[in-house]
Amino acid sequence: MRYRELGLSGLSVSEIGYGAWGIGESSWVGATEDDSVRALHRAVELGVNFIDTARGYGESERIVGRVVRERVGEEVLVATKVPPKNGMWPAPEGLDPAVTFPGEHIRESLETSLRVSGLDHFDVLQFHVWSDDWVGRGDWLETIAELKQSGKIRSFGVSVNDHRPETALALVRSGAVDSVQVIYNIFDQAPAEELLPACAEHGVGVIVRVALDEGGLTGRIDAGTTFPEGDWRNRYFRDDRPAQVGQRVAAIVADLGITRDELAEHALRFVLSSPAVSTVIPGMRTVRNVERNTALSDGRPLTADQLAVLAGHRWQRNFYS
C-alpha cells in the first residue's frame, strides 16, 4: 500500500481508503454485518488506514468503531460526518450557517458518533454538506477549533455538494479547512479545473468519493440492469439511465482497448493520477472487493495517452436529482 499526505493535516493516509456508506444493513441491499467486518479487517491487513463513515450511514459508525477497536496496536484513521441540522441535502443557497451547522449541533453530533463508535476521537470531522456562503459566518469555525484543542478531532473537512466542486473554492482559499471530499471520476472531471489546483496550492487534502460512479464505471451496468427492491440504486439508475451508462462505458473500453472487467481498475487509476488527490474511497462490502481495489496501489499510473483518451469521456449530468 502506498500513502499520501492529507494536505497539511499531518495525517498520512492510504491512497486506497475505505468508503463505509454501504456496510452492514444499509440502503445498498445485500450487505451484511459479518461480510462488512471481514472486509474491513482484510482492508486493514492489506494496508488501508483510512475509513470514511458518517452519522447518517445507518450502522456504519458502530461497525467501523468495532473493527478499529479490534485492531489493537494499529493506527487506523477514521473520518465521520456531521449531518446538517435542517436535514437538507444538498445545501440550498442563502442559508445562514446557524440553520445548518450551529456549534451546539456540531458538538452533539460528534458526541453521538463517539458514543456509537466507541472511539475517543475522530481523525477527520466533516460537514456532510457545504456552502461557501458560510465562510466567515456563524460559530462553526470556533467550535471546530475548540474540538481540535480538546483532542476529540484531529482535522476538519467538508463533503462538497454533488457535482458542484466550485461551491467549496472560497473555503479552500480561506485556510479554514484541512480536507475536502468531492466526486471525481472519468465522467465528472470538473474538480480538476479549479478545486484540485486550489487544494494543491493551499495545502488542503482531497478525499475522492464516487470514483466508480456508484457502479456505473465498473462495467457491469447496461440496458436491462436492475437492482433488488429497496436498493437506492434503483433510483440512481432509473428509466433509461442504465442504457445511457452502457453506451458510455462501451465507448470508453473501446477507446482504451480494454475489457469491461478492466474498467474499474482504470477508473481508480484515473483518480490516483492526480497528485492533488490524497485518497480515493471506493465502497467495499466484500473481501473480494477489498483485495481487488487495494491491489491497485502499486505505483503504476495511467499513461499520458490513456489520460488524454479519458479526458474526452466527460459526461455532465446529475443522476442524484
- For helices 60-70 and 33-45, what crossing angle results, to 10°? 40
pLDDT of residue 292: 96
Task: Please check whether residue 318 lies inside any domain of the structure.
Answer: no
Residue 320 forms part of a structural domain: no
**pLDDT score for 91:** 87
Please indicate whether residue 308 or residue 232 has the higher confidence score (pLDDT): 308
Helix or strand holding residue 164 (H, E): none
Residue with cell 482492508: 43
pLDDT at 96: 95
Residue 106 has pLDDT above 80, yes or no: yes
Residue 68 phi/psi, 5-degree rounding, is: -60, -40
**In whole numbers, what is the pLDDT of the chain averaged over residues?**
96
Residue range of the domain that includes 279: 3-311
| Structure confidence at residue 92 as a pLDDT band (50, 70, 90) | confident
Strand pairing category for 3-5 and 12-14:
antiparallel
- Which residue reads 456563524 in cell numbers? 138
In a domain, 128, yes or no: yes
Query: Does a structural domain hold residue 149?
Result: yes
Query: How many independent structural domains does the chain possess?
Result: 1
pLDDT over 80 at 205, yes or no: yes
pLDDT tens-digit readout, 232-270:
899 999 999 999 999 999 999 999 999 999 999 999 999
Phi, psi of 24 (to 5 degrees): 70, -160
Asked, for residue 202, whether it belongs to a domain, the answer is yes
CA distance 86 to 62: 24
Q: Is the pLDDT of residue 24 over 90?
A: no
Query: What is the per-residue pLDDT for 234?
Result: 92
- Percent over 70 (pLDDT), the chain: 99
Q: How confident is the model at residue 27 (pLDDT cuts 50, 70, 90)?
A: low
Helix axes 33-45 and 287-294, enclosed angle (nearest 10): 30
**For residue 26, pLDDT beyond 70:** no
Q: Which cell goes with 245?
A: 451508462
Question: Cβ distance 116 to 62 under 8 Å?
Answer: yes
Per-residue model confidence as pLDDT tens digits over 110-148:
999 999 999 999 999 999 999 999 999 999 999 999 999
> 111: exposed, middle or buried (C-beta count within 10 Å: 0-12, 13-18, 19+)?
exposed
Of the candidates 79, 85, 106, the one whose C-alpha atom is nearest the C-alpha of residue 20 is 79
* pLDDT at residue 228, as a whole number: 87
Within a domain: residue 317? no
Query: CATH no. for residue 111?
Result: 3.20.20.100
Q: What pLDDT digit, counting tens, does each position of 173-185 carry?
A: 999 999 999 999 9
- Average pLDDT over every residue of 189-214: 98
Q: Is residue 132 part of a domain?
A: yes
Domain for residue 319, yes or no?
Answer: no
